[in-house]
Structures are given as C-alpha cells and as structure tokens.
Amino acid sequence: MPPPARTNHKLTGMALYVGFDSSTQSLSVTIVEVAGDLRRIVFEHTLVFDDELPGYGTAHGVRVSDDGRTVVAPPAMWADALDRTAGIITDSGLDLSQIRALSGSAQQHGSVYLRAGGETALASLDPSLPLAGQVAPLLSRDTSPVWMDCSTGAECRALAEALGGDAALARLTGSRAYERFTAAQIRKFATRDPEAYARTARIHLVSSFMASLLAGRDAPLEPGDASGMNLMDLAARQWSSAALEATAPDLASRLPPIAESWTTVGELAPYWRRRYGFGPARVIAWTGDNPSSLIGLGLFEPGQLAISLGTSDTVFGPIARPVHDPSGAGHVFGSPAGGYMGLTCFANGSLARERVRDAYALDWGGFSALLERTPAGNGGALMLPWFVPEITPAVAHADMHRRALDAADAARNVRAIVEAQAMAMRLHSRWIVDRVGVIRATGGAAANAQILQVIADVFAAEVVRIASGNSAALGAALRAFHGDRFAAGDPVSWEEAVAGFTDPTPQPHIRPAPSHVAAYATLLREYEAFESRMRSSA
C-alpha cells in the first residue's frame, strides 16, 4: 500500500510551491503555501519505487551486480514516478493554477545519458501518452550508475594521476577521486562502451534530467550537485577543462552549462499542462538531495551541523571557505544558497540498520526497545558495520567486524550498530565543525528518538528535528519560492525564504546525558583505533 497522501484542504488560495525529491528508493513531493507570514506545508506524498513500479525490477530502488560493486537504476523509472506523482497532485484537490514554481532535488552523482535529438523530443512529448515510454527511446544508455556504485577504482586512479594526485584533485574540485562521482563513471562508460558514448549527446545528473523533463528542455546543472562530479572547478563554479579532458573525449560538448542554483530553467512544459492541467509555472533548477536538505533545514551559518539518516547517512553543514578534509574522506560542495558546504557520506546507513533489525527478526519498535535497554558504551562491545563497501572510511569490500560482541546477543548488536554509526559520524565530521551545540536531524530514521539519543550523547550536542520529515523535498519547495521571487524581480533573502518552515519542532529536544557523554569520550578513541586496525588489515 502506498503511504497516504497528506493534504490540508483549508487553503487560502495564495502562492503554492512544489518541491520533489527523487531519492534512491522513492520520489517524494512537498507542496508549501506562502501567503505573507502564513506559511505551511499543504501536501506531502511519497511513491516507493519497489512497491509502486515493480516492473522495473529494482530492490531498494536499484539493481546490484552479483559482486555488489556495480549499482544502477533505470531513468525511465524516475520519469514514470514523476508522471504518476503529477497525477497524484492533480487528484489532491489543490488549485493547480496557484502553483507558481516547481523545483526538486535528487540522489547525487548518478548520471543519465541522452541521444542526439533528446532536447527536441522533450519539448514535444505527447500528453496523451505516459512519460516513461517516450523517455526510454531518448536514452543512449538504459540504466544510470548511481551513488552506491563502487566499480570504478581503476578510473579513479587514472583521474587522480592525470590531475596531479588526490590532494590536487580535492583542491580543484572539492573531493579526491571517488568511485561514485560522475567523472569516474563517465570515464568507465566512455572506455568500456565507446560506441554508446559516441551516441551520447548529453550527460545529465539525475537532478538536471528531472528538471529537463519538467521544463521540456535541457536544464543546466548548478554548483550544489555539479560539485559531486570531480569535474567542477570549485572556486570558479564552472567546469574545469583539465578535469573534463582527463575524463573522456569531447566531454565539454556533452555537459549542460553550470548556472546559479536559483536559475529559472523555463516554464512547465506543455506535456504537464495538457496532461494534468497545471498552469504556466516556473521550473527552477534542481539540486542534489544533500544540498537541498541544507536549505530545508535552514542552515546558512558556518558552525551549524545536520545529520541525515537515510539510505546513506550524511553529516553536513555550511562552511565559510572551501577548506578540505585533511583525511581526504569528506567533500566540499557548493551550497545552493551560494558559498559552500562540507559533507561526509556513509554508505552503510539505513540498509545496514535494517540488516541488523532483520537478523534478529525485530520491527523498529523492538529495535528501539533493545536500544533503550542496553547501557551507553555497550560494555565496550564494538561493531564496524561495513555490510557493503564503505565510503567513509574507504573500505573496498563488505567487511563487518565485531569486538567483544556475541553475534547471538540481539540487544548488544542493535546498540553496537547505532553507536558505530554515530561514532563514525563524529570522527569523520570534525573537519566540518569540531564542536557543535545543536544538531539538526532529518531522514527516515530521525523519527527514532532512541537513535537520536545515541547521536546526542556521542556528539555531546542537543539534537532537534523540524516539522517536515523530508528536508530535501521541503528544501526544493523553498528553493522554488526563492527562485520564483528572484525571477519576478522581487527577491527574498534565504532567511526569509525558509522562515516558518525550518524552525525546530517544539517537542522535547534530545539532550546529551553527561554520564553517557563521558562513556563515549573513552569509547570513541577505542572505536577509532579499531577502525584503523581493521582497515589496514583488510
């Protein structure tokens, strides 16, 4: 059963802004109403790919190769989800003529490959036919490599070598060469399938592909998502010709331009207006899910920190200058508000928590109860939760370890994975901000107060949530509002754009318990040593 849509029908007929989030496992939409100081979310819906679109054969939204290293998803599925979600919005009872602008966010790094003529075809899609069947023939590659892919080690080494080493690449683009980043993925495609690469006229990120579908024309990239490619000169916020040349032949002509994040891509294409009855709303450039969450959580001041607990777990916050993680594990991205953000990403997020939950036949209620029953510090028991190859720290092969932890002890294993994830986040986010007073939590698992308590204790910081469960889709709706006002010549500041949407919820904040903080100060050092020992023995 799809989750029920949430609609607030008592509308005042003022401006509506639509924000999508095309994530790994689902497409969500959040619609906000803005009428002066009255600001509220009027509609939220999530379409889960595996449940609603089983014909695409994905598990958790992706297809994984037998060795677990190649991970792809079909772009036609994302288009299908957008089409169906437009229908669901139409059925919501909202007055579509009040929609002023739409924007979105998408899982980062994934790339979509279009043949020549794709842009013309996008402009003239037939509104009497579903979208997916019209998009499939435009693709020069029917699947997209996504952020979970880790099959491009050789390409990363070649790129780093061509560009003066990993440290130089990080200074230029914000990150050392990463397997999931788009440069390595494009290089792999161009070398392994040169004919299909030659047939490719345009390479989009998932974000700019989805914006192109809405606008019926090629959308630009923007610095938030383009900085996840190892191809953008971070200081100039434009393509680096050296990085492009090191990646694949004639790449410059295949990439869209990079524009400001608040750029209007165009008006909503005739397909959406005729098929669903939308008006001539503006389409604002889409960004990556993490940069979008930065806006949806209202984070603009350096020193603030957010934790997103989703398919991937991420820790991120605004930074004043593009300082780099000395360990090489983190990324500097452009912030969609201008400036920069630091981010550290963990591949073993919600699917790893689910692995432990399922191994002991628990539901989330049972998982939380066990977490509550076990002591902070777990009596010294430790886990390294690398159920799949890990991004941070870099671990090439799935490699789960226990220390002083009985595999049969469900309660301690539950606590061990949550503590491990929190300690890894703390250790690998110091370069973004060393000590933080308040952490904003988002993502599915942020609903779990017991998990947030561990995070509060490990970081010695208060943890707060915002009313919307989906900060990426909310950020997209607020970016639509900001971009619309900018285009209309009546701009609003970012603080004004998010006001009334991103304040912490009044429900009790989660405060660190002093005795737990002391326990983790010791355990953190042990975890760090265990992590580095097991990595070097791998």
Q: Which of 22, 85, 290, 374 binds ligand XUL (CB under 6 A)?
A: 290
Q: Which residue lies nearer to ligand XUL by CB, 281 or 297?
A: 297
Q: Is 144 in the site for ligand XUL (CB under 6 A)?
A: no
User: Least distance to ligand XUL from the beta carbon of 2, Å?
Assistant: 21
Which residue, 227 or 264, has its beta carbon nearer to ligand XUL? 227
Shortest reach from residue 32's CB to ligand XUL, in Å: 22
3 state SS of 30: strand
Residue 33 CA, distance from chain mean position: 24
Closest CA to 240 of 172, 150, 323: 172
Q: Binding ligand XUL by CB under 6 A: which of 20, 43, 78, 147?
A: 147
Look at the block and give the residue holding tokens 């695409």.
56
- Least Cα distance to 19 among 225, 266, 211, 269 occurs for 211
* Beta strand ranges found along 159-312 (DSSP E): 200-205, 232-233, 238-239, 264-267, 282-284, 287-288, 305-309
Place of tokens 């957008």: 82
Beta carbon nearer to ligand XUL, 74 or 288: 288
Q: Which of 110, 75, 114, 76 is nearest to 201 (CA)?
A: 114
Nearest-approach distance from CB 388 to ligand XUL, in angstroms: 13
Q: Which residues pair with 283 in a beta bridge?
A: 102, 266
Q: How far is the CB of 410 from ligand XUL (least distance, A)?
A: 29
Nearer to ligand XUL, 105 or 502 (CB): 105
Least distance between ligand XUL and beta carbon 344 (Å): 9
Number of residues that bind ligand XUL (CB under 6 A): 14
24 scored as a contact of ligand XUL (CB under 6 A): yes
In the bound state with ligand XUL, the residue whose beta carbon lies nearer, of 118 and 288, is 288
Q: Give 288 or 317: the residue with its C-beta nearer to ligand XUL.
A: 288
**How far from the centroid of its chain's Cα atoms is residue 230's Cα?**
17
Cis peptide before 393, with omega less than 30 degrees from 0? yes
Whether residue 290 contacts residue 309, with contact meaning beta carbons closer than 8 Å, is answered with no
- Closer to ligand XUL at the Cβ: 166 or 484? 166
Reference 388, options 76, 59, 56, 22; nearest CA is 59
Instruction: Return the number of the residue (110 or 216) whose C-beta is nearest ligand XUL.
Output: 110
Q: Does residue 46 bind ligand XUL (CB under 6 A)?
A: no
Neighbour tally for 137: CB within 10 Å: 12
Q: Minimum distance from CB of 287 to ligand XUL (Å)?
A: 11
CA–CA dist 258, 285 (Å, integer): 10
Instruction: State the binding string over 48-87 for ligand XUL (x if CB under 6 A, else -).
Output: ----------------------------------------
Backbone dihedral angles phi then psi of residue 314, each to the nearest 5 degrees: -130, 150
Region binding ligand XUL by CB under 6 A among candidate stretches 121-129, 153-161, 287-295, 372-380: 287-295
Give the separation between CA 421 and CA 302, rounded to whole angstroms. Answer: 24
For ligand XUL, the closer of residues 263 and 392 by Cβ is 392
C-beta of 147 vs 530, nearer to ligand XUL:
147
Identify the residue among 69, 109, 465, 479 touching ligand XUL (CB under 6 A). 109
Q: Which stretch binds ligand XUL (CB under 6 A): 40-48, 123-131, 283-291, 392-400?
A: 283-291
Contacting residue, 80, 149, 218, 289, with ligand XUL by CB under 6 A? 289
Closest CA relative to residue 229, chosen from 323, 112, 140: 112
Q: Which member of 28, 46, 103, 107 binds ligand XUL (CB under 6 A)? A: 107
Sign, Cα dihedral of 57, 59, 65, 71: positive
- Helix-strand-coil percent breakdown of the chain, rounded to 5? 40, 20, 40
- Sign (positive or negative) of CA dihedral 197, 228, 456, 395: positive
Give CA–CA dist 330/76, Å, rounded: 31
81 neighbors 22 (Cβ within 8 angstroms): yes
Residue (15 or 315) nearer to ligand XUL, CB:
315
Establish if 314 lies at the interface with ligand XUL (CB under 6 A): yes
Selection from 220, 215, 162, 213 nearest residue 187 by Cα: 162
* 225-254 positions binding ligand XUL, by CB under 6 A: 228
DSSP, residue by residue, 491-504? ---HHHHHTTTSSB
Q: Which is nearer to ligand XUL, 147 or 494 (CB)?
A: 147
Q: From residue 528, how far is each of 426, 427, 479 by CA, in Å?
A: 10, 8, 38
- Please report whether residue 390 would count as binding ligand XUL according to CB under 6 A: no
Q: Residue 493 is encoded by which pair of tokens? A: 């500041």
Among positions 315-354, residues that touch ligand XUL (CB under 6 A) are: 345
Cα separation, 498 vs 427, in Å, equals 30
Residues 247, 312, 368, 442: which binds ligand XUL (CB under 6 A)? Answer: 312
Nearer of residues 108 and 413 to ligand XUL, judged by Cβ: 108
Spatial separation of the C-alpha atoms in residues 240 and 198, rounded to whole Å: 21
Q: Does 471 bind ligand XUL (CB under 6 A)?
A: no
Q: Footprint of ligand XUL on residues 170-209 (CB under 6 A)? A: 180
Residue 383 CB, shortest distance to ligand XUL, in Å, is: 22
Q: Is 108 in the site for ligand XUL (CB under 6 A)?
A: yes
Least distance to ligand XUL, CB of residue 377, Å? 29
Kindly state the smallest distance separating residue 219's Cβ from ligand XUL, in Å: 18
Residues that bind ligand XUL (CB under 6 A): 23-24, 107-109, 147, 180, 228, 288-290, 312, 314, 345
